[in-house]
Amino acid sequence: MTKKYVIFKDDDAGKDFFSLKKWINIIIENDAKGAIGVIGKNLKNKEFSNYLNFLDETKIEIFCHGYYHSYIPFILRKMIGRNRIFPNEFDRTEKSHNKSLEKFRIAEKRYLKTKAACFGPPGNEWNEKVVEPLIKNDFKMMFSRSKIKGNIFTIPISKNLKHKSIDEFVKDYQKNKNDAVFTLQFHHADLTEEQFDLIEYVINFLKNEGKRIFIKPSELIDISQKDKELHDTLISK
């Protein structure tokens, strides 16, 4: 049987430090792994960046979640149409994508001891002009709901943790049970107490019944080099 993997993707790190720590503690205590999307501008908060530098790199991977995180919620965009005054950070030009990614790299170099290999656009909103700036700024992979054209690995986003109980999660998971890579997206700042409690059950379910292996995004590069079938689902050339 081919191996199946799971990635926990958590967004918006730097906005709600208390909930972030709570989320990470649950991941570590339950022997799972997680990826946290850091908003570049928040790295100048020393308490936050010091905390990130103390995390176990073998368990937690930092990815770039934009520099400014300018993003208009979907419902608002639907109401006002395409917003030309305050467009999303990664729904602009190649030049502006490059500027955001460069600013992230500068802040990262200044405040963090690790370098992110992976990018997850704010609100999962992006356009194809982001590919060249990603390569130029040495990113290897990107979280996306649709496959990216070009030499960047696509890590599919499978589900959001919106569930209120393990039964509800398991039922929803059945649609994705055959996916080679199952990515569950979190927003620690929005999780309820019940959902924080649920994470432990979700981890155990995915490991035991789901027979999935927890990985960090960058581990996919090595894994897919040995697994051509998986490689072809992650990259289009």
Binding site for Zn ion (CB under 5 A): 11-12, 122
How far, rounded to the nearest angstrom, does the alpha carbon of residue 237 sit from its chain's CA centroid?
Answer: 23
CB of 162 to Zn ion, least distance (A): 15
Nearer to Zn ion, 12 or 91 (CB): 12
Q: Where are the alpha helices (DSSP H) in 89-184?
A: 94-111, 131-136, 166-173
Strand partners, 119: 64, 142
Nearer to Zn ion, 11 or 61 (CB): 11
Nearer to Zn ion, 210 or 217 (CB): 217
CB of 71 to Zn ion, least distance (A): 6
Q: How far apart are the first and last CA of the chain?
A: 27
CB of 157 to Zn ion, least distance (A): 12
CB of 114 to Zn ion, least distance (A): 20
- d(CA 181, CA 35) in angstroms, rounded, equals 14
CB of 122 to Zn ion, least distance (A): 4
- d(CA 70, CA 18) in angstroms, rounded, equals 22
Nearer to Zn ion, 5 or 143 (CB): 143
Task: Please state whether 78 falls in left (phi above 0), alpha (psi between -120 and 50) or beta.
Answer: alpha
User: What beta strand segments (E) does the chain contain?
Assistant: 4-13, 34-38, 60-64, 118-119, 141-144, 153-156, 159-160, 181-186, 212-214
Nearer to Zn ion, 122 or 210 (CB): 122
